[in-house]
């Protein structure tokens, strides 16, 4: 099937585009995002949707060993462990074509609406950065993730998805028709993982990353987001969100 993620050259080489203007710094909390289809964040919604395609990097040294318990994504969601962590994962909403090893042109864009319209657990694949891979492997069933738009005029958080399947080999690494094909990876020794996610909610209004940055001064420890991984490692396509950061943003 057609894969829509970022091609293997973006995450380590391209910084997030900044919007044309930056709002004046404010010391209050950012406006809470109004939401569509907004059940309580701690309650799982009906399982529908897709979490797919985020930023990837240039060729890197050999990756750590991946979880090889499953060679292909499961159709059903895994059982929850009862614990919950929070994450932010980036995808490109604007159409962009990339050439594959087989010579095809594929559109790697993916939006929150694409995710919403899918009919079951789908892989969030195409992640080719080792720190982002480490974050994927740390995810457990029931974790919640912000869906964040990147490489666009106004990068920002547009919704929430839930992890429904834990780390397993990313099928795109074996597919020459995919923008994420890795000829050095084999099914016996896979290099890259993906997780399975589903749509949970879409915000009525995007929460711009610049609005969060006003509360993330790394030298001002009183700022509620001052240690946020999103701002410490800006090119990561998968970053950790602490519980208190999630609560502040929500």
Region of residue 53 (left: phi > 0; alpha: psi -120 to 50; beta: else): left
Q: Supply 215's token pair.
A: 């509360």
- What backbone torsions phi and psi does residue 157 show, to the nearest 5 degrees? -85, 130
Task: Tell me the C-alpha distance between 45 and 115, whole Å.
Answer: 14
Task: Tell me the C-alpha distance between 170 and 193, whole Å.
Answer: 5
Domains of the chain: 45-58+65-249 (3.10.590.10)
Q: Are the C-beta atoms of residues 201 and 35 closer than 8 Å to each other?
A: yes
**Positions in the chain whose pLDDT score sits under 50:** 1-27, 38-66, 68-75
pLDDT of residue 222: 86
pLDDT of residue 221: 82
Task: Tell me the C-alpha distance between 96 and 105, whole Å.
Answer: 10
């Amino acid at each position: 099937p057609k894969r829509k993620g970022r091609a293997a050259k973006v995450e380590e080489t391209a910084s997030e585009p900044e919007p044309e203007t930056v709002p004046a710094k404010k010391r209050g909390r950012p406006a809470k995002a109004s939401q569509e289809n907004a059940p309580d964040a701690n309650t799982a919604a009906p399982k529908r949707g897709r979490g797919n395609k985020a930023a990837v990097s240039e060729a890197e040294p050999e990756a750590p060993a991946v979880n090889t318990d499953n060679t292909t994504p499961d159709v059903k969601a895994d059982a929850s462990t009862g614990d919950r962590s929070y994450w932010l994962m980036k995808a490109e909403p604007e159409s962009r074509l990339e050439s594959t090893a087989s010579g095809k042109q594929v559109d790697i864009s993916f939006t929150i609406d694409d995710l919403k319209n899918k009919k079951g657990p789908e892989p969030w694949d195409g992640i080719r950065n080792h720190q982002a891979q480490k974050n994927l492997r740390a995810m457990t069933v029931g974790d919640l993730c912000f869906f964040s738009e990147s490489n666009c005029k106004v990068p920002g958080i547009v919704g929430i998805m839930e992890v429904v399947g834990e780390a397993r080999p990313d099928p795109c690494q074996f597919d020459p028709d995919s923008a994420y094909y890795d000829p050095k990876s084999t099914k016996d020794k896979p290099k890259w993982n993906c997780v399975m996610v589903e749509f949970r909610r879409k915000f009525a209004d995007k929460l711009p990353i610049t609005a969060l940055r006003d509360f993330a001064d790394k030298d001002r420890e009183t700022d509620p987001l001052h240690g946020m991984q999103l701002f410490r490692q800006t090119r990561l396509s998968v970053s950790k969100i602490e519980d208190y950061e999630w609560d502040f943003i929500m």
